[in-house]
Structure 1
Amino acid sequence: MKKKVIIGFLGTQLDGGKGSARWEKWRPSVALAQHEDLVVDRFELLYSAPAQALARQLKEDIGAVSPETVVQAHELPLRDAWDFEDVYGCLFDFARSYPFDTDKEDYWIHITTGTHVVQICLFLMTEARYFPGCLLQSSPPRRHGLGSPGDYTLIDLDLSRYDLIAQRFSHARTEGVELLKSGIATRNARFNRMIDEIEHVAVRSRAPMLLMGPTGAGKSFLARRIFELKKIRHQLNGRFVEINCATLHGDGAASTLFGHVKGAFTGAATERPGLLRTAHKGLLFLDEIGELGLDEQAMLLKAVEEKRFLPVGGDLEVQSDFQLIAGTNRNLAHEVAAGRFREDLFARINLWTYSLPSLAERPEDIEPNLDYLLEQAGVEIGQVARFNKESRAAFLRFATSPGARWTGNFRDLYASVTRMATLAEGGRITTSVADAEIGRLRHAWREPEAPERGAIDLETLLGRERVAALDLFDKLQLEAVVAVCADCASLSDAGRKLFGVSRMDKAKPNDADRLKKYLARHGLAWDDVRGLRGLR
């Protein structure tokens, strides 16, 4: 049985009373300890400094009627119990520092005593899961009688009933979004919408999540932030466990994930719990899940659905209750079609799927991330480094240009910032340091020389008659455009290369739409021109 813990604010009027006459009065906090059908293991009594004497008296009285109840009094640095900001701040600090243990204890938040502002704040913080419990409301007996404890009611919050309050007091959600973004003021509308939804889902669901995106786009970072958000809300008590599935090979893959018993195979001298058991009550992040073998995929599906599985070489199932976040840079739907990924596992982890944009797709976010990564690099190298005005402008001009490929995404950007911070004499990143780094990046991203190829065969695309009807100017232009498309992975990538200069003058460039319309004028679509290397 879990212990019953009540958290309540001392009521200076309702809980007050002097001499023996106080026992003839209904006092809400004391009455909670007088119910014959309710055993309160611990009472966390909150009060402000002026009520210190009353808190002492109340502690003694609760101990007299219920010796088994441990009363812990907490003086809060509260200046004005009617000031919303002051009350919320004090309760927030208390909740963040209190050692909640939801596996062993049930928490009831008493909202009968205290000012109305105190009661509202306790309600809001319980709704937001800073207090991981339910509300407790008590009431006096219908007929006053000596020692009568009255009644009490538990309220398990149904959030849908309190939409208006939730809209007015959205501080908790805003804080959660900022946590997921590390306080970086991202400017990409698509990314911001995605983070808003992830925050909403993270605090309301334990279902698996799937994070898709290229290497270095921040899948691992975001998974850890989701864990930290859920940890703050007391929704997870365990650890964050991470593994890149591309590092798992052969028989060792199953052992690493699911553990093994002693003697399961040659070299298994001792039992190994495995990562799934290590993640019990926590979060397991399986990066590059598409690299897992089919056998391990089947074992993982059972573990996710039933919370139990067999260790390698074992005959008895073990249990682990973890939340799964998977990451991949592959298209798992294509992997399913090719028979390399189980359809049933894909269906199980595809409930909440988010595609993280590459750094090249969100150039407006390079500047705010530059400051954040510069601070991180300074911590690593032990030196604070700063751009001067000219060097910052020069680096940002290159970093946000079509020529900046950022193939490694944030890994490339962090490596670049770290190099400049390391080479900064006296902590100043000068124009010469920035220019040298720009040259280094251009060299690193330089494409290897490809074998000479012939021109695009427009007749294969359009037919002889349509090509013959084109002016030479239009024909040469179309050949050049199709040649660029043939070497690009996406319509957006091709658009950025073709309109790299003119797009800089537009407030909201839409390169993909411009290219799509140009191709349509010639009766072509993107699927007609992508990957045409074989026609050259």
Structure 2
Amino acid sequence: MAKKNVVIGFMGTQLDSGQGAGRWEKWRPTISLVQHEDTLIDRLELLYATKYEALAQTLQRDIANVSPDTVVNLVPMDVADPWDFGEMYAALYDWARSYRFDPAHEEYWAHITTGTHVAQICMFLMVESRFIPGVLLQTAPPKKQERGNPGSYTLIDLDLSRYDVLAQRFSQAHTEALEFLKSGIPTRNKRFNALIEEIERVAVRSQAPILLTGPTGAGKSHLARRMFELKKSQHRVQGDFVEVNCATLRGDGAASTLFGHKKGAFTGAAAERAGLLRTAHQGVLFLDEIGELGLDEQAMLLKAVEEKRFLPMGSDREVSSDFQLIVGTNRDLRIDVAQGRFREDLFARINLWAYTLPGLAQRPEDIEPNVDHLLVRAATDTGRAVRFNVEAKARYLQFAKSADALWSGNFRDLSASVTRMATLADGGRISTGLVDAEIQRLRWLWQTAAETQAPELDLDALLPNAAGKLDLFDRLQLEAVIRVCRESLTLSDAGRQLFDQSRTQRSVVNDADRLRKYLLKFGLTWDAIRQLA
């Protein structure tokens, strides 16, 4: 059984007007809807202001004369100012929310030829957001005015998934955005790629604060700048990218640098200073190592983020700045909150979008594409192409992916390593000799880091009543699990590493819960283990 055609539209107080017999000589968009011989309009929901009641009733009678099978429902919709977007949208939204749509049996056409331009825009938005589950209907007069000629009509479906060409273009734009955030590096780590894919969606859709955590050198600053550049390319920000390392801010200089000051606010304030928050107006402010920021500055920052206004030092008049905040840290701010070093309310405000960037040692499959990228960049910087010998590259990658490669400085270490080899390569070739020398240099570089890693695990002290009763198998397994936990920022991060293979075979993945239950078998908790780190 064919679905019924239902039209929803505003009455045109000018285009639909007319009381005398002459009204039939002109084209009236609402009347034209029922004059097409090959199209039956089963019902018309006619929205109108009550002061035009007489015209609405005339249209109802005229439609009955032209198409007796069409039911016309007159829907009063009084808006104080039909050109006020807020009022018009609210009125149409309230009507759509209370209307009993039946898409299984009815087709809905939203008529956008009549009504004010604001009303037409609101009707468009109702259909686009699926509050009205239908398509747009656009009518047009005939080229030659003549009695009974209904002109033409066009149906416009806003379901973009039905337009293959548009879908392909959106898919291409999405892929290009992901490649941009990754600097064109074809990364292979599934966890990292999934993280970047979500960050891309957040970067282009949200203005809320973003928290990036991860070890030093994991790429937090670089990713923050790429996010800004992506937003800039899509005209989602107009201002600049402003970056500051909070570890460099101390005393009065911290508040002055961020929030500005008036002349004479403190000793040495010889001139007024705008501050970085105002410099970042309509742009992005990246505060790296935010855990180093003092508690007073944290309170001022919270107000600036929530209210878009703040007091510069020495001023009694607030200033405003509208910016997006991205923050970075290599610390677990939850521990800082618990110990009173970081404000809980600020942490809650910046924790809406939180992402932990894995270190290079946690992404061994991404080392090779990053090495290739760094060689290309070195060639661009020096104008001299450099490549590995086949054996040399295999030897370097074997070491780089091994447990001996700590990569404590993460991508900074890798970049420095590739730069050294590219600079010393004779004839544009990195030989096995160069690789062997570089490996020795890296071992020397990480020697101190290896010696100052977390102290040896004393399982007997951790489990005084149970450690001696463990089988050797259970003891070795538990020690290995605890080491991974001590090196991870979160329970989920540790779980992802420990269950990196079996998690791909599960329909429901909850690494944190699996790890928590394992630890509880031995009477251990995440907090107890983290105190050992």
TM tier, smaller:
0.5 to 0.7
Hey, what does 1:204 align to over in structure 2? Answer: 205
Aligned equivalents of 2:290 and 2:406: distance in 1?
26
CA distance in 2, matches of 1:192, 1:406: 20
Percent identity over the alignment is 58
Deviations 1:298-340 (A, max 9, x none): 1111111111111111111111111111111111122111111
Which residue matches 1:193? 194
The whole-number CA distance in structure 2 between the counterparts of 1:188 and 1:178 is: 14
Work out the CA distance in 1 between the residues paired with 2:488 and 2:335.
Answer: 21
> What whole-Å deviation, never above 9, does each CA across 1:17-54 have from its counterpart, x for those lacking one?
xxxxxxxxxxxxxxxxxxxxxxxxxxxxxxxxxxxxxx
- 2:409 equivalent to 1:408: yes
Rounded to whole Å, the distance in 2 between the matches of 1:272 and 1:142 is 65
Distance 1:341 1:182 in 2: 33
TM-score by length of 1: 0.60
The C-alpha deviation readout for 1:228-248, integer Å capped at 9, x for no partner, is 111110111111110111111
Q: Is 1:169 matched with 2:169?
A: yes
Task: Tell me the alpha carbon deviations over residues 138-197 of structure 1, each in whole angstroms, 9 at most, x when there is no partner.
Answer: 98666869xxxxxxxxxxx99x95344464432211111111111111111111111111
Q: Which residue of 2 aligns with 1:256?
A: 257
**Aligned partners of 1:271 and 1:449: how far apart in 2?**
46
Render the CA deviation track for 1:59-105: whole Å, top value 9, x for unaligned: xxxxxxxxxxxxxxxxxxxxxxxxxxxxxxxxxxxxxxxxxxxxxxx
Query: For 1:235 and 1:412, how far apart are their aligned partners in 2?
Result: 34
Partner of 1:433: 434
Per the alignment, residue 377 of structure 1 pairs with 378
Q: For the residues of structure 1 that align with 2:435 and 2:462, how far apart are their CA atoms?
A: 47
Alignment CA distance shift 1:302-1:403 (3 Å): same
Q: Deviation at 1:280?
A: 1.0
Deviation digits for residues 98-150 of structure 1 (CA, Å, limit 9, x no counterpart)? xxxxxxxxxxxxxxxxxxxxxxxxxxxxx9xxxxxxxxx998666869xxxxx
| 1:268 corresponding residue in structure 2 | 269
Q: Distance in 1 between matches of 2:457 and 2:282?
A: 60
Distance across 2 between alignment mates of 1:521 and 1:296: 39
**Aligned residue identity for 1:354:** Y
Shift of 1:489: 4.8
CA contact (8 A) 1:208 1:324 kept: yes
The equivalent position to 1:448 in structure 2, one of 451, 455, 462, is 451
Give the secondary-structure state (helix, strand or coil) at the position aligned to 1:401: coil
Structure 2: distance between partners of 1:380 and 1:526: 52
- Which deviates more from structure 2 when the two are superposed, residues 368-377 or residues 212-221? 368-377
* Matched position secondary structure for 2:205: coil
Residues 1:321 and 1:376: Cα distance change in structure 2 (over 3 Å):
same
CA–CA distance in structure 1, aligned partners of residues 239 and 283 of structure 2: 4
Instruction: Provide the rounded CA distance (Å) in 1 between the counterparts of 2:456 and 2:213.
Output: 34
Amino acid at match of 1:367: E
1:6: which partner in 2? none
Q: From the CA coordinates, give the structure whose radius of gyration is larger.
A: 2
Aligned to 1:419: 420
TM-aligned CA deviation for residue 375 of structure 1: 2.1
Query: What is the TM-score normalised by the length of structure 2?
Result: 0.61
Q: Match for residue 61 of structure 1?
A: none
Partner of 1:298: 299
Structure-2 separation of matches of 1:482 and 1:210: 32
Structure 2 Cα separation of the partners of residues 392 and 177 of structure 1: 28
**Aligned residue pair count:** 369
Partner of 1:361: 362
The DSSP-based 3-state class of the residue aligned with 2:236 is: coil
Residues 1:343 and 2:341 are matched in the alignment:
no
1:93 corresponds to: none
* Separation in structure 1 between the aligned mates of residue 208 and residue 459 of structure 2, nearest angstrom: 49
CA 1:224–1:521 in structure 2 vs 1: closer, same or farther (change >3 Å)? closer
CA shift, 1:481, in A, is: 5.6
1:49 matched residue in structure 2: none
Q: Distance in 2 between matches of 1:522 and 1:210?
A: 30
Q: Structure 1 residues 459, 139: CA separation in 2 closer, same or farther (over 3 Å shift)?
A: closer
Q: Match for 1:191: what amino acid?
A: F
Q: Distance in 2 between matches of 1:266 and 1:458?
A: 54
Structure-2 change in CA distance of 1:144 and 1:314 (3 Å) = farther
For the 8 Å contact 2:486–2:532, the answer to whether it is kept is no
Deviations 1:376-404 (A, max 9, x none): 23344553321111111100011111221
SS at match of 1:285: strand
User: Counterparts of 1:229 and 1:450 in 2: how far apart (Å)?
Assistant: 38
Give me the whole-angstrom Cα distance separating, in 2, the residues matched to 1:378 and 1:401. Answer: 27
Question: What are the superposed Cα offsets for residues 480-528 of structure 1, whole Å, 9 maximum, x if unpaired?
Answer: 66666665554889xxxxxxxxx9x99x99xxx9xx99x9699547759
Task: Give the residue type in structure 1 aligned to 2:175.
Answer: T
Q: Could you tell me which amino acid in structure 2 is paired with residue 437 of structure 1?
A: E
Q: Report how far residue 345 of structure 1 moved.
A: 1.1
Distance in 2 (CA, whole Å) between partners of 1:423 and 1:299 is: 50
Q: Secondary structure at the match of 2:393?
A: helix
Against the structure 1 CA distance between its residues 138 and 316, is the aligned structure 2 distance closer, same or farther, given a 3 Å change threshold? farther
Alpha-carbon distance in structure 2 between the residues aligned to 1:317 and 1:520: 53
What residue identity is the alignment partner of 2:211? L
Q: Are the counterparts in 1 of residues 486 and 530 from structure 2 also a CA contact under 8 Å?
A: no
Shift of 1:341: 1.1
- Contact between 2:221 and 2:288, CA under 8 Å: does it hold in 1? yes
Find the counterpart in structure 2 of residue 393 from structure 1. Answer: 394
Match of 2:329 in 1: 328
Instruction: Write out per-residue CA displacement over residues 420-477 of structure 1, whole angstroms, 9 at most, x where no aligned residue.
Output: 111111221110001111111112222338999898549955548x73xx7xxx54x6
Matched-pair contact (CA < 8 Å) for 1:227–1:240: yes
Structure 2 letter corresponding to 1:210: L
Rounded to whole Å, the distance in 1 between the matches of 2:184 and 2:435 is: 26
Tell me the SS of whatever aligns to 1:445. Answer: helix
Name the residue aligned to 1:178.
Answer: 179
- Looking at structure 2, the residues matched to 270 and 329 of structure 1 have their Cα atoms a distance apart, in angstroms, of 35
Letter in 2 for 1:162: L
Aligned to 1:236: 237
Q: Does 1:287 align with 2:288?
A: yes
Relative to structure 2, which stretch is displaced further, 450-459 or 259-268?
Answer: 450-459
